[in-house]
Chains A and B, each alone.
Chain A
Amino acid sequence: MSYVPHSDVDRRAMLAAIGVSSVRELFSDIPAAIVRDGPLDLPEALSEWEAIRLVAGHASRNPELACFAGGGIYDHHVPAAADHLIRRSEFYTAYTPYQPEVSQGTLQAIYEFQTMICELTGMDVANASMYDGATATAEAVLMAISATRRRQVVLAGHLHPYYRRVITTYTQGLDIELRMAGAGREGLVEPAGLAEVGRETACIVVQSPNFLGLIEEVEPLADRAHEAGALLVCVVADPVSLALIRSPGEQGADIAAGEGQPFGNTPSFGGPVVGLFAAREKFIRKMPGRIVGGTEDTEGRRGYVLTLQTREQQIRRGKATSNICTNQGLNALAATIHLALIGREGLRQVAETSAQHAHYAASRIAELDGYELLHPGSPFVREFAVRTPGDPQAIVRRGLERGLLAGVSLSRFPGIGAPNGLLLAFTEKRTLEEIDLLIDVLRRG
């Protein structure tokens, strides 16, 4: 079925009012050579029930698993009220708030989102969202280049391999040099490996916790960047960690970029999620994306508008700070409502419960024959990598048979150099029973 409301009577009346005899006349500007005379090779229309049966059939071929995979997407509980509220038509069927007088709901929610992201990251200002953590990081690199007018970027340590690939894609047409500064034996950035940071460096990019879940020493890296007149971009692919560990802002970062999925958004095969972008106030005019600001109406009442729009493509066109237009508004709203529901203490509990689960499992796994933590001396929050005695992909496959997603095989990422590595993440949703099952799957190798 289509969603066209017209009856034949309507259609005739409308054609008469227009002064044409057929709908096809309205298409007369299209050269006949390219107008199709037959239908497209598409399936026949389905009724709603037939469509539901079809699509649910697809969904049923993705088994539901107890999830121990992370790597930038985490399986947290989203409170029912958060999903209920984002299903309100007022939110999800609205457009970008270009007419602020009838968009105060969306605008106020974004203002609250910006505030929460500033609180989490310890930064001064945040935008209304980017597509995801990877593209937020790529935009942070572009902003650092524009702010410093330098062209070299140092990607340090275990930055998410997909984020690294997206940065490479985004910068390929620009004259930008990407330098990799690998991680040391402990799985962390080695300051000695940053010898090349110098007068050409626009920024150092460091992720903490890094892709292997390890907490980096960010502050010395910020100092190193600042000594060279460069910026520090701190990447947060696991924002739940911010409830427990020091924020990018506290550690001297100039830009914080990251992923907000665990707040309000299901894994959804990696999208739609919500990219986070925050910075020091002095960089606000260099920031990409939409920003909401408070102001007053003609009666002196408080209200919100999109502000500093001269940074954006709809005004500045070829000279905009970014080409982004549509962002992840509804996902940012979900994050805002989730964070409002869970609150200051609740988020700490989610993080702590996740960390307790992870550390308990780590100690159990370390006792298994043939297993060891990949970096036993380095601190982690709720995600860590282990060295497995056999092929980690085979372990993941065997986990599927037991109803588990038993982590992410690091053999997928040759750059990490841990072909026998398995990356495991824990959330508040996992139970002791599931962890026991995981241990059993690993024991059987």
Chain B
Amino acid sequence: MGEWTPTIFEKSRPGRRGTTVPRPDVPVRPLEELIPSRHLRATSPRLPEVPEHEVVRHYTEISLKNHHVDRALYPLGSCTMKYNPKVNEQMARLSGFAGLHPFAPAEAAQGALGLMHELGELLCEVAGMDSISLQPAAGAQGELTGVLLMRAYHRGRGDERRRRVLIPDSAHGTNPATVALAGFEVVELRSNEAGRLDLDSLRSALDADVAGLMLTNPNTLGVFESEILEISELVHRSGGLMYMDGANLNALMGIARPGDMGYDIVHLNLHKTFSTPHGGGGPGAGPVAVKARLAPFLPVPGVKTEGGSYALDWDRPESIGKIHGFYGNFGVLVRAYTYLRMLGCDGVRETAEAAVLNNAYLSARLEERFPLPYGRGMHESVYSGAALKKKTGVKTLDVAKRLLDYGFHAPTIYFPLIVAEALMTEPTETETREELDRYADALLAIADEAEHDPELVTGAPHATPVTRLDEGRAGRRLDVRWSFDNDA
């Protein structure tokens, strides 16, 4: 059991310092002469006053309460928690990148612009697309970019009727949230018994009001939409566009390309497929790749090359506009570029193959006790804890919490919504067979525990820094910042 760690504010003592600051290197004038006193702040922000060593201890201590990929399997479905190569971190911190100001003129940013240009070409090849914007900072922002591209494309053809975007019922929550943000109406489509998009449901929804279809592939069940060519044709025939949420591209890299499936737009999650770390919630990067007919609408600026040098390209009169304050999460792009160049053409394919192999192996180990209502997925499978719950009263939530005691992170649970007591599990390609076995053994042991000692599971976790937390209380009695009330 972990000890409670006070906040950094409670460790503060007036007059202590964690770092020093250079004195002005110029003749100094009183502050009031520089800035009119009516603008000056009367009290300074109550930032902590803590010596460096204590700051290091504080954040080291709380860090130890985290599960992380460098500790053990982190099987969150559709999150692709693969190993984050250390060399990528080193590359992003090179001073020529880290110190580069976004307003540096192009001649002083050739290395950055050249890297972006080349990364764009590599990603277009992986996606089977013609053109790309590296600007979106995350998957959801890539989605917004993509849906705004649909809007711009249709309007560019003088078609302003298309107000609806189709989304399957298995989709990630960002899909409908994005569609609403872009000003479209969401139409939800059913999945069939195989976990795939129901073609009849698609046919009856398609009409002249539909701007396009957003379809993750493999979908959030991990199942490949094997009728994808028919789906693309139906959508295109009705004048709509095909958007792929690229969250699950890790299953396909080097084997099949969204562009060859009929997709017009795809966003790629560099923090999933391309190994850049999740950072406890971000930063990510969500580049959007498109077919040529959508290229004129991509965000500004792009990166262009002329005469052997590179420049930002602001000359896109039909562009949807700027989506990020500058040019995107450049440091993340450096990591993904390093990764892709190391993988090379063979490594890309091997990665997808191993991601699918690992998931199939794990599924074979688990499916007897944890059934797969829609079958084994490609890079991820969605197991159901419904039978276990019926038999023992132990819910998926309990199984997930008990996994934490075994030293693993839990899978994504209760998603997608169409599987009862869902455990959405994605092992990724970087896990060894032994680690997969360890995880499978843990889950099977928990299933045994559920039968013989259910309270051990329903009371879990026991071995974590804290036990189950009262989320209801957090919502009712809001405590979202330190109050300083108890300070002397």
Q: Spot the interface stretch: B235-243, B430-438, B445-453.
A: B430-438
Separation of A56 and B280 alpha carbons in the complex (Å): 27
Please judge, given known A-B contacts A36-B255, A293-B480, A337-B55, whether A94 and B68 are in contact too, CB under 8 Å.
yes
Residues of B within 8 A of A27 (CB): 255-256, 356, 378
A348 at the binding interface (Cβ < 8 Å): yes
Separation of A94 and B280 alpha carbons in the complex (Å): 5
User: A102 to chain B: closest CB distance in Å?
Assistant: 4
Residues of A within 8 A of B357 (CB): 6, 11, 14-15, 18, 23, 26
Q: Spot the interface stretch: B202-210, B287-295, B388-396, B466-474.
A: B466-474
A111 at the binding interface (Cβ < 8 Å): yes
The answer to whether A346 touches B20 (Cβ under 8 A) is yes
The answer to whether A104 touches B48 (Cβ under 8 A) is no
A318 to B, closest residue via Cβ: B176
Q: Spot the interface stretch: A179-187, A192-200, A225-233, A242-250.
A: A242-250
The answer to whether B332 touches A75 (Cβ under 8 A) is no
A191 at the binding interface (Cβ < 8 Å): no
Residues of B within 8 A of A11 (CB): 357
The answer to whether B283 touches A271 (Cβ under 8 A) is yes
The answer to whether B181 touches A46 (Cβ under 8 A) is no
The answer to whether A331 touches B341 (Cβ under 8 A) is no
Sample (26) of A-B pairs whose CB atoms are under 8 Å apart: A4-B429, A5-B431, A26-B378, A34-B228, A36-B254, A40-B345, A42-B345, A46-B344, A55-B338, A67-B99, A83-B93, A85-B59, A88-B60, A94-B278, A131-B325, A172-B148, A245-B35, A247-B45, A269-B101, A296-B473, A320-B173, A324-B138, A339-B48, A344-B45, A360-B24, A400-B107
B273 at the binding interface (Cβ < 8 Å): no
Please judge, given known A-B contacts A2-B350, A94-B280, A268-B98, whether A325 and B138 are in contact too, CB under 8 Å.
yes
Which chain A residues (400-419) contact chain B, with CB distance < 8 Å? 400, 405, 408, 412
Known: A39-B345, A44-B344. 6 other contacts (CB 8 A): A3-B83, A61-B111, A84-B56, A295-B479, A324-B140, A326-B283
Interface centre among B47, B87, B471 (most CB of A within 10 A): B47
A388 at the binding interface (Cβ < 8 Å): no
Please judge, given known A-B contacts A48-B342, A327-B138, whether A244 and B275 are in contact too, CB under 8 Å.
no
User: A157 to chain B: closest CB distance in Å?
Assistant: 16
- Among B47, B67, B103, B337, point to the contact of A102 (Cβ < 8 A): B67
User: A171 to chain B: closest CB distance in Å?
Assistant: 9
A428 at the binding interface (Cβ < 8 Å): yes
1/0 contact string of B215-240 vs chain A (CB within 8 Å)? 00000000110101100000000000
How would you classify the secondary structure of chain B's contact residues: helix, strand, loop or mixed? loop
The answer to whether A162 touches B35 (Cβ under 8 A) is no
B76 at the binding interface (Cβ < 8 Å): yes
Residues of B within 8 A of A271 (CB): 137, 283, 324-332
B107 to A, closest residue via Cβ: A400
User: B159 to chain A: closest CB distance in Å?
Assistant: 15
Separation of A55 and B252 alpha carbons in the complex (Å): 26
Interface centre among A6, A312, A397, A412 (most CB of B within 10 A): A6
The answer to whether A14 touches B27 (Cβ under 8 A) is no
The answer to whether B479 touches A294 (Cβ under 8 A) is yes
Separation of A117 and B34 alpha carbons in the complex (Å): 26
Residues of B within 8 A of A39 (CB): 254, 345-346, 349
User: A133 to chain B: closest CB distance in Å?
Assistant: 6
The answer to whether A52 touches B114 (Cβ under 8 A) is no
- Among A36, A73, A272, point to the contact of B137 (Cβ < 8 A): A272
- Among B23, B50, B278, point to the contact of A95 (Cβ < 8 A): B278
- Among A4, A30, A435, point to the contact of B350 (Cβ < 8 A): A4
User: A319 to chain B: closest CB distance in Å?
Assistant: 7
Residues of B within 8 A of A344 (CB): 44-49
The answer to whether A95 touches B79 (Cβ under 8 A) is yes
Please judge, given known A-B contacts A341-B18, A342-B19, whether A356 and B28 are in contact too, CB under 8 Å.
yes
User: A216 to chain B: closest CB distance in Å?
Assistant: 9
The answer to whether B356 touches A108 (Cβ under 8 A) is no
The answer to whether A345 touches B328 (Cβ under 8 A) is no
B65 at the binding interface (Cβ < 8 Å): yes
Separation of A345 and B14 alpha carbons in the complex (Å): 10
B158 at the binding interface (Cβ < 8 Å): no
The answer to whether B255 touches A35 (Cβ under 8 A) is yes
B321 at the binding interface (Cβ < 8 Å): yes
- Among A18, A40, A57, point to the contact of B364 (Cβ < 8 A): A18
B482 to A, closest residue via Cβ: A115
The answer to whether A65 touches B325 (Cβ under 8 A) is no
A329 at the binding interface (Cβ < 8 Å): yes
Which 9 A/B pairs are nearest by Cβ-Cβ distance? A270-B326, A173-B183, A330-B279, A45-B344, A329-B281, A59-B96, A270-B102, A134-B325, A61-B111
Which chain A residues (49-77) contact chain B, with CB distance < 8 Å? 51-52, 54-65, 67, 69, 71-73, 75
Residues of A within 8 A of B178 (CB): 323
Residues of B within 8 A of A40 (CB): 125-126, 254, 345, 348-349
1/0 contact string of A145-170 vs chain B (CB within 8 Å)? 00000000000000010110110111
The answer to whether B329 touches A17 (Cβ under 8 A) is no
Separation of A397 and B109 alpha carbons in the complex (Å): 12
The answer to whether A60 touches B184 (Cβ under 8 A) is no
Residues of A within 8 A of B83 (CB): 3
Residues of B within 8 A of A386 (CB): none
The answer to whether A317 touches B177 (Cβ under 8 A) is yes
- Among B60, B173, B257, B271, point to the contact of A34 (Cβ < 8 A): B257
Separation of A245 and B111 alpha carbons in the complex (Å): 38
A319 to B, closest residue via Cβ: B180
Please judge, given known A-B contacts A100-B466, A166-B325, whether A93 and B104 are in contact too, CB under 8 Å.
no
A354 to B, closest residue via Cβ: B24
User: B327 to chain A: closest CB distance in Å?
Assistant: 6
Which chain B residues (140-187) contact chain A, with CB distance < 8 Å? 140-141, 143-144, 147-148, 151, 173-174, 176-184, 186
A85 to B, closest residue via Cβ: B59
B217 to A, closest residue via Cβ: A30
Separation of A96 and B410 alpha carbons in the complex (Å): 12
Please judge, given known A-B contacts A166-B322, A379-B39, A400-B108, whether A172 and B151 are in contact too, CB under 8 Å.
yes
A440 at the binding interface (Cβ < 8 Å): no
The answer to whether A45 touches B343 (Cβ under 8 A) is yes
B139 at the binding interface (Cβ < 8 Å): yes
User: B186 to chain A: closest CB distance in Å?
Assistant: 5
The answer to whether B105 touches A325 (Cβ under 8 A) is no
Residues of B within 8 A of A35 (CB): 255-256
1/0 contact string of A270-295 vs chain B (CB within 8 Å)? 11110000000100100000111111
Separation of A352 and B59 alpha carbons in the complex (Å): 28
The answer to whether A112 touches B8 (Cβ under 8 A) is yes
